[in-house]
Amino acid sequence: MHRSQARNFTLAAAFVVVMLFLQGAALAQYKVTNLVANKAGHSTNLPDAHLVNAWGLTFGPGSPFWVSDNVTGLSTLYKADGSKVPLEVAIPTASGRGTGSPTGIVFNGSNDFKVSKDGASAPALFIFATLDGTLSGWNPGVDPTHAIKAADQSAHGVVYTGLAIASDLNWVYGADAANNKVDVYDGQFNLIFTFNDSTIPEGFTPYGIQVINKKVYVTFASPANVAGGFVDVFDEFGGSKHRLISNGVLNQPWGIAISPANFGKFSNSLLITNNLPNGTINAFDPATGQFRGKLRDRTNKVITINQIWGITFGGGAPNDGNTNQLFFTAGPNNYENGLFGVIEAVK
C-alpha cells in the first residue's frame, strides 16, 4: 500500500469512528426505571396494591414523594429509590362516604391552610384536590392517617383534575375540568376568584396546572378525548394570559415541569406529558413554546409511559432524589394499574 493510500485509509477509519461516536451520542438520551407498580414483575421494588392510577406527585423539603392514588382514594409515600414509607393517608369524599378520588397534590410550607378535627387544628402540610370537587389537607397532629376536607364545591359539579400552589401568596389553584375554569383559594380555603381562557376552542377545558417561577401554567384538554391540547401561561392573579403552545404534538396534556441545566439533550426545557394515547413527554422552549422533541431512549425510540400523569424533578435530598432526576406517575391500562418511576439522562 502506498503512503498516500495508507493515509487515506487512516482518515477514512477515523471518520467512521467519529461518526459512530456521534451516532451513539445522539442515541444516548434517557432511561426509564419503573420503581413501584401495583402488579408484580413491573418494577424494581415490591408491588404496592394501593398504587392504582397514580396521579398527582409532590414532596416537601427532604420528604419522600407523596402520590395521589386516584382509584384507591389514598396517598402513598415512596423514597427516591422506590422503597415504600409505612404511611398511607386516606382522602375523603365530598359526601364523607365511599372512596376518595385524589388528583392533584401540593406541599404547603406556610402557617396557612389550617385543617381541624376534634379540637385539634394545624396547617395542612399536603393539600389534595379530588374529582368530586373537594380540597382536603393533612397534618399528622390533626389526624395521622386521614386528610381533612377543607373546601367542597361538589354542589356546583366541580371536577378538580389538577392542583397548584403559589407559595408567595399562599393561594392554591384548582383546575375545574367540568366547568372550564380555574378556582383560586386563599390561605383559609376561601374561594376568592376564578379565571379561564375564553379563546380556547370549545370542548377543551383546564386539565393540568402548575406554578413555576410565579407563573401559572395551565394545560387544556378535551374531556371527550378529542386529539390536541393547549398550554397557557398566566400571572398568579389569573391575568396577563399568554398562549404558549397550541395543538401540534399535544394530546391530553397534564404533567408540567421545567428541566434543569444538567438534564441532557432537553436541559432548560418545558416538559409536558401527553396522558393519551400512549404517554409521551414533549420538550418545548420555555419562552417561545417551540417544540424541541420528545424524550427518547438509548435506541432513539420515543419513550412511552402508558397514561402518564405527573412529573417533577427531585429535590436534592436522599428521600426525594437528585435535582436532574425526573420522577413520574402513571395509570396504565386505562387507569386500572399504577406506576411510580424515574427518568434519567444517559451519556
Per-residue pLDDT of 87-145, as tens digits, reads: 999 999 999 999 999 999 999 999 999 999 999 999 999 999 999 999 999 999 999 99
pLDDT in tens, 239-292: 999 999 999 999 999 999 999 999 999 999 999 999 998 899 999 999 999 999
Q: Which three cell numbers stand for residue 270?
A: 418545558
Helix, strand, coil shares, percent, the chain, to 5: 10, 45, 45
Q: Is the pLDDT of residue 334 over 80?
A: yes
Looking at per-residue pLDDT, the higher value among 7 and 203 belongs to 203
Domain residue spans in the chain?
23-345
> Under a CB-based contact definition with an 8 Å cutoff, are residues 214 and 258 in contact?
no
**What CATH fold (topology level) applies to the domain 23-345?**
Neuraminidase (2.120.10)
Mean pLDDT is lowest, of 25-34, 100-109, 152-161, 302-311, for 25-34
Q: What's the one-letter identity of residue 6?
A: A
- Which distant-in-sequence residues (6+ apart) come within 8 Å of 7 by Cβ? none
Mean per-residue pLDDT of the chain: 93
Tens-digit pLDDT profile for residues 2-50: 544 444 444 444 443 333 333 444 445 999 999 999 999 999 999 999 9
Write down the pTM of the prediction.
0.92
| pLDDT for the residue 20 | 33
At residue 226, the pLDDT reads: 92
Contacts 24+ apart (CB under 8 A), 113-119: 113/137, 113/150, 113/170, 113/172, 113/187, 113/188, 113/189, 114/188, 115/139, 115/142, 115/147, 115/148, 115/150, 116/142, 116/148, 117/142, 117/143, 117/148
292 CB-contact burial (10 Å; exposed 0-12 / middle 13-18 / buried 19+):
middle
Residues whose CB falls within 8 Å of the CB of residue 291, separated by 6 or more in sequence, listed in order: 245, 248, 249, 282, 283, 284
What was the pLDDT predicted at 311?
A: 99
How many Cα atoms occupy the beta-carbon half-sphere of 115 within 13 Å?
23
The percentage of residues in the chain with a pLDDT greater than 70, rounded to a whole number, is 92
Judge contact between 206 and 218, C-beta under 8 A: yes
Strand partners, 221: 205
Q: What pLDDT shows up at residue 28?
A: 59
According to DSSP, the β-strands at 230-235 and 242-246 are antiparallel
Whole-number Cα distances in Å, 126 to 2, 138, 154: 75, 5, 21
For residue 73, pLDDT over 90 is answered with yes
